[in-house]
Structure 1
Amino acid sequence: MTEKEQSLALQILTTEHFTLQTARSAFVSESTGRINLFLVAVSSGVVAIAFVGQTSRFGEPFFAFSLVVLATLAFIGLATYVRVQQTAVAEAMYERGMNRIRHFFVETVPDIQRYFVLSVHDDLAGTSQNEAIRGMRMQPLFTASGMINVVNAVLVGAFMSLLVAVTVKAGLLLDVGCGIAAALVTLVLQLRHQTLQWKQIEQIASAEFPTPSQA
């Protein structure tokens, strides 16, 4: 690459880096807005359930209202999780692109690498380094999607417990057991989907400049 081509490439990639950063910021804002909306809906729903429980003395209207509210909240939670996970995947891809551009800067002027605190490698290890994540196996639970997963699991578990209590009427132990089982199944399925989503990044945008230990 000639000096003129390097100068032109530098201008283009600098603009691209700015575009990627702007897109990442937009996705972060969208995710934050959706999460806030969902958590507000959950808190409002719980307050409404408690109010109806007091006024109806936990009779049939309470169970009917609670089932409707919990089912609605579970759907909102599922929609929130899906979109938040989609934005997280897109954000990770953009971060890889920014690392790739940073690698070009280092290729052009090798001496500047020691001034960068972020990674110049566009693989999972590189993006994890940017976020100071070091091999935490439980990390999926600590992401925004993971937090929504846990809340969704609790909602589904509560819905199932009430449903069994209303339809089967076999005692508290069975009600709680069915609720816990439903919550665990929901959590596992969502985490499985989350893992598959992250693996798709490797197929969509394979690493051009992997971390040396993984090259």
Structure 2
Amino acid sequence: MDISDGPHAQFLATEHWSLLATRSMTWNEIFSRTGTYLTVLSATVVALSLVANATGFGRDFRTFALLVLPLVLLVGIGTYFRLVEADIEDAWLVIGMNRLRHAYVELAPEIEPYLVASHHDDEPGLLQTYSFRGRVGVTHWLSGSPVIVGIIDVAVVGVLTGLICRSAGADTVVQNVVSGMMAVLTLALLGAVAYRRVRRASQDYWARFPSASN
């Protein structure tokens, strides 16, 4: 396609701004959903502390906790799944903007040294635009919103399982063992779901402008 004329450049710029606006809305949703979940969790903790002060961690406290913690967990699981989807959508938006930058470089090759973000749509180009590096470390991934929300969900599952075991009359050792097992299982399930979603989204993808092309 010949993109050397003015109208093509205007079309590309319009598309770029559209993707940028969509990415901004995606990030706003990520922050909003994460903040909403943390607010619900904080309110629940405050409510549990007030009930505990009034009932002395007795049967009424366990009943109340068994009513509200599943609701918190439901909100947390839903938030986690949506954050995973939002991260995938954000990756596609970055790929789209990288392709548009590639078109800009075709229009004006002399601008390439001034670009900080990548103009390639393969994995190295995606990482370059995300973090301005060719690779990111474990700390970068661990600080992501889905991971933080997922870890909180795992903790809620552990606490909820402990309360269920306590209400069933299990001793402390059984409570700790079952709670730990359920937390590990939840962590594995959440990680597996996220991995499958990312893999499914990327398995049919092929880069049009890979870094090796230059």
Partner residue in 2 for 1:78? 77
Normalising by the residue count of structure 1, what TM-score does the alignment of the two structures yield? Answer: 0.91
Report the Cα distance in structure 2 between the residues aligned to 1:125 and 1:199, rounded to whole angstroms.
17
Q: Deviations over 1:29-79 (max 9, x none)?
A: 111111111001001101111111111111111111111111110000011
Contact 1:93 1:201 in 2 (8 A): no
State the AA in 1 paired with 2:16.
H
Report the Cα distance in structure 2 between the residues aligned to 1:78 and 1:136, rounded to whole angstroms.
26
Task: Structure 1: state its 5+ residue gaps.
Answer: none
Report the Cα distance in structure 2 between the residues aligned to 1:93 and 1:81, rounded to whole angstroms.
19
Structure 2 residue 127 is matched with structure 1 residue 149: no
Partner residue in 2 for 1:165? 166
Contact 1:123 1:209 in 2 (8 A): yes
Contact 1:100 1:121 in 2 (8 A): yes
Report the Cα distance in structure 2 between the residues aligned to 1:21 and 1:6, rounded to whole angstroms.
23
Partner residue in 1 for 2:42? 43
For 1:16-95, list aligned pairs within 5 A.
Answer: 16-95=15-94
Report the Cα distance in structure 2 between the residues aligned to 1:71 and 1:2, rounded to whole angstroms.
58
State the AA in 2 paired with 1:102.
R
Contact 1:140 1:191 in 2 (8 A): no
Report the 3-state secondary structure (helix = DSSP H, G, I; strand = E; otherwise coil) of the residue aligned with 1:25: helix
Contact 2:37 2:75 in 1 (8 A): yes
Aligned residues: 212
Partner residue in 1 for 2:113? 114
Q: Work out the percentage of aligned pairs sharing the same amino acid.
A: 29
Cα 1:193/1:141, change in 2 over 3 Å: farther
Contact 1:118 1:130 in 2 (8 A): yes
How far the C-alpha of 1:88 sits from its partner, in A, is 1.4
Runs of at least 4 residues of structure 1 off by over 6 A?
none
Report the Cα distance in structure 2 between the residues aligned to 1:201 and 1:138, rounded to whole angstroms.
24
RMSD: 2.0
Contact 1:77 1:148 in 2 (8 A): yes
Contact 2:66 2:164 in 1 (8 A): yes
Report the Cα distance in structure 2 between the residues aligned to 1:192 and 1:137, rounded to whole angstroms.
17
State the AA in 1 paired with 2:35.
N
